[in-house]
C-alpha cells in the first residue's frame, strides 16, 4: 500500500468527500458490497481519476482488480468528516428560511442536531418551530455554552449578518454557515462557508446569456 504517511488533504478533495459519502450511502441501500472508482464517480457526479486520487489521500483503502469495500470506505470517510460525532447547531434568524432549515429533516440525520433557534424580534420569541421554542438572541452566549453548540447558522437578512456573526464568535462558535447575502468578517480561527441564492442565479444567468454551460455547483464538478 501507499508509502503515504500522513498527508494533508487538499481543500478540493475535502469538498468532495460529502459527495462520496452520499454515494456510498446509496450503495449500502442497494446492498452493494464493493464499488469501483468508475461506479463511485458516476454516483457522485465526478470522474474516476478524481475519485481515485481523492481517496488515495485518505489511505489505500481499495483492492486492485476489485474496488472499494463499501462499508469500510464509508466508515473511513465518516471518520474523516467527523460524522461519528455530534455537532450541535444553532440557527439565528427564524424567518421563512430559518424555519425551513429548522424543519429540514435529515439535518439531524448525521449528527447535525439543532439545539436552539434564536431571533431578535419580540413577536418571534416563544413560537415553536420543529419542537423548539424560539429564544431571544441575547441568550446566545448562555445557550451555546449550556448546549455545547459548535456550529452557527445565520439565516437573517443581510443587514444583521455581521452583528450576528460577531455574537456567534463572542459566544465561542468557530464554524459558521452563512445564508445571508452579505460578506461577513471573522477572526482567522473561525471557519465560514456561505450559501447564496442570488450568487448562484447570477452565475446561471451569465452562462445562459452566452449559450454556454456552467458546470459544477458548489465545489464539485462532473466527468468529461
Q: Which positions from 149 through 168 interact with DNA, judged by CB under 7 A?
A: none
Closer to its own copies at the Cβ: 49 or 214?
214
Residue 109 binds DNA (CB under 7 A) = no
Closer to DNA at the Cβ: 2 or 159?
2
* Binding positions for DNA, 45-64, rule CB under 7 A: 47-50, 52-53, 55-56, 60-64
Q: Cβ of residue 200: shortest distance to its own copies, in angstroms?
A: 5
In a 3-state reduction of DSSP, which class is residue 178?
strand
- Using CA atoms, how far apart are residues 173 and 164, in angstroms rounded to an integer? 11
- Using CA atoms, how far apart are residues 147 and 149, in angstroms rounded to an integer? 5
Terminal C-alpha separation, the chain: 29
Question: Which of 51, 58, 94, 101: binder of its own copies (CB under 8 A)?
Answer: 101
With vertex at residue 204, the alpha carbon angle to CA 43 and CA 197, rounded to the nearest 5 degrees, is 85
Written as nine digits, the cell of 195 is: 450559501
3-state helix, strand, coil in the chain (%, to 5): 45, 15, 40
Question: Which of 65, 106, 187, 211: binder of DNA (CB under 7 A)?
Answer: 65
Residue 110 binds its own copies (CB under 8 A) = yes
Encoded one letter per residue, x for contact with its own copies by CB under 8 A and - for no contact, window 135-154 reads ---------------xx---
Closer to its own copies at the Cβ: 80 or 120?
80
Which span (29-37, 66-74, 138-146, 187-195) binds its own copies, by CB under 8 A?
187-195
* Binding positions for its own copies, 8-67, rule CB under 8 A: 11-12, 14-15, 17-19, 21-23, 43-45
- How many CB atoms are closer than 10 A to CB 175? 16
Q: Which of 183, 117, 176 is nearest to 151 (CA)?
A: 176
Question: Which of 24, 40, 74, 89: binder of its own copies (CB under 8 A)?
Answer: 89
Q: Which of 17, 1, 81, 21 is nearest to 50 (CA)?
A: 17
Residues contacting DNA: total by CB under 7 A:
35
Residue 161 binds its own copies (CB under 8 A) = no
Complete DSSP assignment for 109-148: GGT--EEEEEES-TTTTT-EETTEEEEEGGGHHHHHHHTT
Contact set with DNA (CB under 7 A): 1-4, 10-13, 35-38, 47-50, 52-53, 55-56, 60-68, 217, 220-224
Amino acid at each position: 500500500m501507499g508509502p503515504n504517511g500522513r498527508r494533508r488533504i487538499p481543500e478540493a478533495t475535502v469538498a468532495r468527500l460529502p459527495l462520496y459519502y452520499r454515494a456510498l450511502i446509496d450503495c449500502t441501500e442497494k446492498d452493494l458490497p464493493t464499488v469501483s472508482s468508475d461506479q463511485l464517480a458516476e454516483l457522485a457526479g465526478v470522474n474516476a481519476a478524481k475519485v481515485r486520487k481523492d481517496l488515495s489521500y485518505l489511505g489505500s483503502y481499495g483492492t486492485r482488480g476489485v474496488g472499494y469495500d463499501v462499508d469500510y470506505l464509508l466508515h473511513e470517510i465518516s471518520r474523516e468528516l467527523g460524522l461519528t460525532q455530534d455537532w450541535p447547531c444553532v440557527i439565528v434568524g427564524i424567518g421563512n428560511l430559518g424555519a425551513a432549515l429548522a424543519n429540514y429533516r435529515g439535518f439531524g440525520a448525521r449528527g447535525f442536531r439543532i439545539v436552539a433557534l434564536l431571533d431578535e424580534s419580540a413577536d418571534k420569541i416563544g413560537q415553536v418551530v420543529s419542537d423548539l421554542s424560539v429564544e431571544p438572541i441575547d441568550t446566545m452566549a448562555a445557550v451555546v455554552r449550556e448546549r455545547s453548540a459548535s456550529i452557527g447558522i445565520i439565516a437573517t437578512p443581510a443587514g444583521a449578518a455581521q452583528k450576528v456573526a460577531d455574537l456567534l464568535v463572542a459566544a465561542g462558535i468557530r464554524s459558521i454557515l452563512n445564508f445571508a447575502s452579505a460578506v461577513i468578517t471573522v477572526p482567522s480561527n473561525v471557519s465560514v462557508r456561505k450559501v447564496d441564492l442570488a450568487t448562484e442565479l447570477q452565475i446561471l444567468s451569465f452562462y445562459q446569456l452566452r449559450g454556454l454551460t456552467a458546470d459544477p455547483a458548489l465545489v464539485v464538478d462532473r466527468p468529461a
